[in-house]
Amino acid sequence: MTIYNIIKELSQTSKRTEKEAILNSNVDNFLLKEVFRLAYDPYIRFWIKKIPEHTYRENTFLSLDIVLFSELPRIFNRQVTGNEAINLLSHLLSATHKDDSELIKLIIKKDLDCGVSESTINKIWPKLIDTFKVMKCHNTIEHINYPAIIQTKCDGMRCIIERHPDGESYTAYSSSGRIIEFGDHFNESVKVYMNPSERFDGELICIGEDGKHLDRKTSNGIINSLLKKPETFPKDKLKLINFVVWDIEDHTNSIHYDNRFFNLKERFTSNQRNFKLIDWKIVWYESEATEYFQNQLSMGNEGAILKNLDGTWQGKRVKHQGKLKDELEAELKVVGIIPHSKFPELIGVLIMETSDGVKFNVGSGLTDELRSTLDHNNVIDRIYTVRFNDVITNKNDDSYNLFLPRLIEERLDKSTPDSMEIILSLKTNEKI
C-alpha cells in the first residue's frame, strides 16, 4: 500500500480508535512518519502559497524517499527560494508517481486532510511534532507591577501572522499552528505594517458594515467556517474579518513589552481597513485597572488583559500578563456522549475532559439545532469552550464539578484542552 493510500484510508474513517489502529499497523513505516512530520511540524515552512502548474509524466523517475529526505528540505531550509523554489516544486510534482505527487501537494499545504490530530501523531511517534508556541496570559494578576499596560480582551480567535522573508506574501496561523487560508485578504496591510520575517500576534474579529463588532457567536462562527472549508468560504464575508494586533514576537526573549508595543503604536498612525491596534491604556494603580475593566464589561467586551512593561516574549504561559474576566472559561475535549433522555437519537450531554483526565458533564448550551447537527461519532475529540461560574470540590471524594457549565463554541484553533491546574487557577481571578 502506498503512503497516499494509507492517508486515504485514514480519511475514510471518523473514529479515532480506527485511525490509531491504522497508524499503529504502520508505525515502522519511516516514509509515513516523515510525511506526518513534514506536514504537521509548525516550524517547517515551505513559503509557497500556490501549487505551481505541472504535468504528470508516464515514466516517473523520482522516488518518494528522495523527495522527502533530499529535495523538500532544500525548500524549507531555504537553499532555494522564490521562483527557483516554485520551479523545483513543479519539477518534483511532474517527476513522481501520481499518488506521490498528490501526497506532496498535501505536505506543501500543511494538511493531509485525514482527520489525524497532532496529539494522535505524537501518541504513535512520541515527540515527533513540535508544539506551536504562543505566549499565553496567566489567570491571575498577582504578578503585575504598576505602571502597567491594560488592553481590551477581545471575543475573537487567536491568530499569528508571519510576513515571509521575501516580503511578498504571508502566512496566518491559529494558536495551535493550523494555517488559516486568507488568500490575499491581508496583503496590503501586511506590507504596510510588517517587516519581512516578522510575526504579529493578535486576534481575529468580525466587524459589520456599520462598523460595530459582531457578537462572539456570529464572529467566531464566520471564522470557524473559514477554517473548516476555506475553498467554499464566501469571498464577500472575508471583508468582515479584521486582525487586531497587540504584540511582535521576539524570539531573542530580550526586548521588553513596552518597547515591542510602542514599536507597534508608532506604525499604527492610521488603521488599514482590516488591521487594527488593540485598545489600550497605561494604568498606574489597581483602581485604574478596575475602572478600565468595568468599562469594558459595560461595553459588552469580555474583559481586559494587564501586562507588565518589562515582560519579555516567551512561547508559554507567563505571569507578567494576567487576565481580568467576569466569568470563567475553559477549553475542554469531548470524550463521550450521553443520549438525550426523550430523543435517544440526539445528544443529551457531552462528557468533556481536561488534558490531565478530569471529566465533566456539560448539557447546557446544547440547543436543539446543535443537538441535531452534532454527529455522535465526529463530535469525539473536538474541543469546545465551556463557560461556568465556579469550580466546586466534592467533599466526599475531592472530585471536581463545574457550577452551571454552558457549551459556548467549538474551538478549531485549539488542539489541546486546558489542564485542571489551569481551571483551578481561574477562581483566584473571578472578580476584581
Q: What is the CATH number of the domain that holds 400?
A: 2.40.50.140
**DSSP symbols for 316-366:** SEEEEEEEEESSEEEEEEEEEEEE-SS-TTSEEEEEEE-TTS-EEEE-BT-
Statement to judge: residues 28 and 97 lie in one domain: yes
Statement to judge: residues 389 and 270 lie in one domain: no
Rg of the chain over all Cα atoms, to the nearest angstrom: 23
Statement to judge: residues 105 and 152 lie in one domain: no
**Count of all residues that appear for the chain in the document:** 432
Residue 130: inside a domain: no
Statement to judge: residues 254 and 174 lie in one domain: yes
How far is Cα of residue 34 from the mean position of the Cα atoms in its chain? 23
Statement to judge: residues 350 and 206 lie in one domain: no
Q: Which of 94, 124, 154 is the last residue of a domain?
A: 124
How many CB atoms are located within 10 Å of the residue 192 CB? 12
Cis peptide before 147 (omega within 30 of 0): yes
Identify which of 332, 296, 306 has the alpha carbon closest to the alpha carbon of residue 418. 332
* pLDDT at res. 432: 40
Residue 91: inside a domain: yes
CB 147 within 8 A of CB 282: yes
Amino acid at site 151:
Q
- Residue pLDDT tens, the chain, 432 long: 899 999 999 999 888 889 999 999 999 999 999 999 999 998 898 888 789 988 887 777 899 999 999 999 999 988 998 899 999 999 999 999 999 999 999 999 898 989 888 889 999 999 999 888 899 998 788 899 999 999 999 878 999 999 988 888 898 999 888 888 898 899 999 999 999 999 999 999 999 888 888 888 888 889 988 888 887 888 888 999 999 999 999 999 999 999 999 999 999 987 667 999 999 999 999 889 989 998 988 887 888 999 999 999 999 999 999 988 777 889 999 998 888 888 888 888 999 999 888 999 998 888 777 777 777 667 888 899 998 878 888 777 778 888 888 998 888 888 889 999 888 887 655 444
Statement to judge: residues 197 and 303 lie in one domain: yes
* pLDDT at res. 140: 80
Q: Which of 325, 355, 386 is the last residue of a domain?
A: 325
Q: How many Å from the N-terminal Cα to the C-terminal Cα in the chain? A: 60
* pLDDT at res. 428: 58
Residue 129: inside a domain: no
Residue 192: inside a domain: yes
* pLDDT at res. 125: 96
Q: Return the percentage of the chain with pLDDT > 90, whole number.
A: 49
* pLDDT at res. 245: 96
Q: In which region does residue 404 sit, left (phi positive, over 0), alpha (psi from -120 to 50) or beta (all else)?
A: left
Residue 131: inside a domain: no
Containing structural domain, residue 355: 328-429
Please, where are the H alpha helices in 311-397? Answer: 368-373
CB hemisphere CA count around 304 (13 angstroms):
27
**DSSP symbols for 231-253:** GGS-HHHHTTEEEEEEEE--TTS
* Cross-strand pairs, 173: 160, 179
* pLDDT at res. 203: 94
Coil, strand or helix at 307: strand
Amino acid at site 22:
I
Q: What is the pLDDT of residues 18-70, one digit of tens each?
A: 999 999 999 999 999 999 999 999 889 888 878 998 888 777 789 999 999 99
Domain count, the chain: 3
Statement to judge: residues 254 and 400 lie in one domain: no
Statement to judge: residues 147 and 116 lie in one domain: no
Q: What is the CATH number of the domain that holds 192?
A: 3.30.470.30
Residue 236: inside a domain: yes
Which pTM value belongs to this model? 0.73
Statement to judge: residues 289 and 180 lie in one domain: yes
Statement to judge: residues 291 and 162 lie in one domain: yes
CB 199 within 8 A of CB 162: yes
Q: Which of 283, 305, 325 is the last residue of a domain?
A: 325
CB hemisphere CA count around 209 (13 angstroms):
2
Cell readout for 221 is 462562527
* Cross-strand pairs, 275: 243
Statement to judge: residues 263 and 336 lie in one domain: no
Statement to judge: residues 211 and 240 lie in one domain: yes
Residue 40: inside a domain: yes
Residue 98: inside a domain: yes
Helices 3-11 and 30-40, axial angle in degrees (round to 10): 60
